[in-house]
Structure 1
Amino acid sequence: MKATGIVRRIDDLGRVVIPKEIRRTLRIKEGTPLEIFTDKEGEIILKKYSPIGELNLFAKEYAEALAQATGMIACITDHDQVVAAAGQRSREFAGKEISRELDRVISDREMRCFHSGERGKISLVENQKENAGAVIVQPIICDGDAIGSVSLIGKGNGEKFGNPEKMLVQTAAGFLGRQMES
């Protein structure tokens, strides 16, 4: 565990303020769900809660099916990281922290297509190498909240997504969102 040197007191309602610097670094915003753990030494551990993390194995299998059906890279994310990735070069994405641009697309709650060769490309993960192919992103909505995304990354330059790819990511995101609700 890393010491910060910051000390906070509990108020009369039992609340503790998480310092702004830590919230910014860990991307904790108002309304971000946190899990609370305790250990044997009496320490309290706060961890960002990822509902998609509960579907980890299922998400990996779904990403593999998408990649196999399309021949593209398929990624499933929560608000923090790529939970599952499949297809060629998927190791560049698996387990990595998502980019701020992708977090914005998820928060906007609308499908977005980014075609290669056009301005306004998107990086799915922080410090991503140049992405030559087109990218399509569909946010996953669960109980009215945007909790992650399903993305397909195209193979090459000049590639554009058609209705079949759009329908695939919409179906995947809709299905994963409904799995979280049950």
Structure 2
Amino acid sequence: MRATGIVRKIDNLGRVVIPKEIRTEMKIDNGNTLEIYVDQNDTVILKKYSPVRELSNLEGYIDTLLETTGCNVMISDTDKIIDTSSDLQEYNERLVGNKVKEAMKSRKTINLDNAQDEDLCANFRSKEDKLGSVLISPIIKQGDILGAVILSSQDKNLGDFEAKASEVTAKVISKKLGL
């Protein structure tokens, strides 16, 4: 842990304000959920909470989508790619890019032709374009944006069937999340 030198008082309702500099640095936005830990030394730790990351068996969803659509699959939370099909392992734990954020913010599935790596992952350049056509479907539960299901294929343009499959998977994942 590093010291910030910032001191805040707790108000009469038990609230404390996280300074803007820290929220910006940690990419904590209004509406984000934080998990609270207390360690052995009575230190309080706040950690961004990702319900999608807590979900077990993401591989099952990925394998089912891969078999059904023939597309490569990625599943993200609001910040990072959490899990992928085997052909896209280099994307694991990469920050999500602008197009993924755009799809989540719009709350609609978006379809990209000839997607670039940087569309899906911030600060990532691969030696070989592996994405081609891409669909991004946001995972939403009770109005909260929790992540995205992403399909990609170099061999074909993705259409209504693939869009419906990714949207259904996003809805199934949202139903499995306990909030």
Contact 1:136/1:151 (8 A) holds in 2: yes
* 1:12 alignment partner in structure 2: 12
Contact 2:72/2:153 (8 A) holds in 1: yes
Q: Distance in 2 between matches of 1:122 and 1:145?
A: 25
Identity across the alignment (%): 34
* 2:74 alignment partner in structure 1: 75
Q: Shift of the alpha carbon at 1:122? A: 6.2
Contact 2:132/2:154 (8 A) holds in 1: yes
1:12-58 deviation digits (Å, cap 9, x = unpaired): 33222111111112111111111111001010000111111221x32
Contact 2:65/2:73 (8 A) holds in 1: yes
1:109-155 deviation digits (Å, cap 9, x = unpaired): 000001018xx996212112264511110011212222111001222
> Aligned-residue CA RMSD in angstroms?
2.3
TM-score, normalisation: structure 1? 0.85
Contact 1:150/1:173 (8 A) holds in 2: yes
Q: Distance in 2 between matches of 1:29 and 1:170?
A: 25
Name stretches of at least 5 consecutive residues in structure 1 with no aligned partner: none
Counterpart residue type for residue 162 of structure 2 = E
Counterpart residue type for residue 174 of structure 2 = G
Contact 2:138/2:149 (8 A) holds in 1: yes
Q: How many residues align?
A: 176
Equivalent position SS for 1:150:
strand
Equivalent position SS for 2:177:
helix
Equivalent position SS for 1:6:
coil
* 1:103 alignment partner in structure 2: 101
Q: Distance in 1 between matches of 2:96 and 2:143?
A: 21
* 1:126 alignment partner in structure 2: 122
Segments ≥4 residues shifted beyond 6 Å: none
* 2:52 alignment partner in structure 1: 52
Q: How does 1:1-182 map to 2 (within 5 A)?
A: 1-55=1-55, 57-88=56-87, 90-116=88-114, 123-129=119-125, 131=129, 132-155=131-154, 159-180=156-177
